[in-house]
Copies of this chain bind each other. A is one copy, B any other.
Amino acid sequence: MNILFIGDIVGRVGRRLVERLLPRLVDRHQVDLVVANGENAAAGFGLTADVVRELFDAGIDVLTTGNHVWDKKEVCGFIDDRPRLLRPANYPGQAPGRGCGVFATSAGHKVGIINLEGRVFMSALDCPFRTADRLVEELRRQTPVILVDFHAEATSEKAAMGHYLDGRVSLVVGTHTHVPTADARILPGGTAYQTDAGMTGSRDSVIGIRKELAIEKFLTQMPVKFDIAKKDPWLNGTLCTIDVETGRATDIRIIQEPGE
């Protein structure tokens, strides 16, 4: 089974690129399931109902998110009605939405998906490692094929999660830094791993933001209103091949597609 994971989709420029490129990527790589992190899809910050619909219409099967999931307040109003839209599972109990789910490919194979958020340099959520223990055990009762989007800042926390789940899930892929890492590989226990899938948005930018604005922020240390950059859009993602019987990854490779 081939799963395509697409890194943080940033703003309209990212959404348009997904719409345009996804059909041919699915076709070219015989993709069975498309998962994408959408936390920045609505103008860089969060998700609206329209944006979620648009992304599902574009061919994404499941959306994961991260710390920006709550940026647009309306998300709390519709997230409970959208089982294919996940938020990090380790938010405290009362948070709306779901942190994991089991989804079927058109061929009828079940794929468990878990969304987690890191804590190093981020919010004081519940422990992502112990949350993973619990959810992996739950999902494995339904399927050996499990994908984890670990939305985290520190490479140490992400690498630790990869090794922690090695042999228990099919893929641990990181998001949040918006920069793809060149370390995609299969760990000793059979879990595919990549520290960060990168983002889908303008590459001529500072992680999706207009570069002049980001530089101004660093130079002045004063508040700067961020706008999304538009030039030179790229889709960054990861393609993972998984044995549906065992859940072991057999291949992982980086996908980097320019807009032009």
Q: How far is the CB of A179 from chain B (nearest CB, A)?
A: 5
Check if A94 sits within 8 Å of B219, measured CB to CB.
yes
Q: How far is the CB of A215 from chain B (nearest CB, A)?
A: 5
Q: How far is the CB of A167 from chain B (nearest CB, A)?
A: 13
Q: How far is the CB of A232 from chain B (nearest CB, A)?
A: 9
Q: Which 5 A-B pairs have the closest CB atoms?
A: A119-B124, A182-B182, A180-B182, A159-B206, A163-B211
Residue A126, interface by CB 8 Å: yes
Max chain B C-beta neighbours (<10 A), residue from A196, A211, A221: A221
Q: Report 15 cross-chain contacts, Cβ distance below 8 Å, ordered by A residue.
A: A70-B222, A91-B220, A92-B219, A92-B221, A126-B126, A159-B179, A159-B205, A160-B218, A163-B206, A163-B214, A164-B218, A180-B181, A182-B254, A183-B198, A188-B204
Check if B198 sits within 8 Å of A182, measured CB to CB.
yes
Q: How far is the CB of A7 from chain B (nearest CB, A)?
A: 11
Residue A156, interface by CB 8 Å: yes
Instruction: Identify A123's interface contact among B91, B157, B221, CB under 8 A.
Output: B221
Given known contacts A159-B207, A188-B204, A207-B159, A256 and B119 CB-to-CB distance under 8 angstroms: no
Residue A130, interface by CB 8 Å: yes
A146-198 residues with Cβ-Cβ distance < 8 A to B are 153-157, 159-160, 163-164, 177-183, 185, 188, 195-196, 198
Residue A120, interface by CB 8 Å: yes
| Cα A217 to Cα B161 with chains together (Å) | 12
Which secondary structure dominates where chain A touches chain B? Answer: loop
Given known contacts A164-B215, A183-B198, A222-B95, A155 and B126 CB-to-CB distance under 8 angstroms: no
Taking CB atoms, residues of chain B closer than 8 Å to A209 are 156
Given known contacts A182-B181, A214-B160, A95 and B220 CB-to-CB distance under 8 angstroms: yes
- 16 extra interchain contacts, Cβ-Cβ under 8 A, other than A119-B124, A156-B207, A188-B204? A91-B220, A91-B222, A121-B121, A121-B153, A125-B221, A153-B154, A155-B178, A155-B207, A156-B209, A159-B179, A159-B205, A159-B206, A160-B214, A179-B181, A179-B195, A182-B256
Name A224's closest neighbour in chain B (CB-CB): B70
Residues of A within 8 A of B (CB): 70-71, 73, 91-92, 94-95, 119-121, 123-127, 129-130, 153-157, 159-160, 163-164, 177-183, 185, 188, 195-196, 198, 203-207, 209, 211, 214-215, 217-223, 254, 256
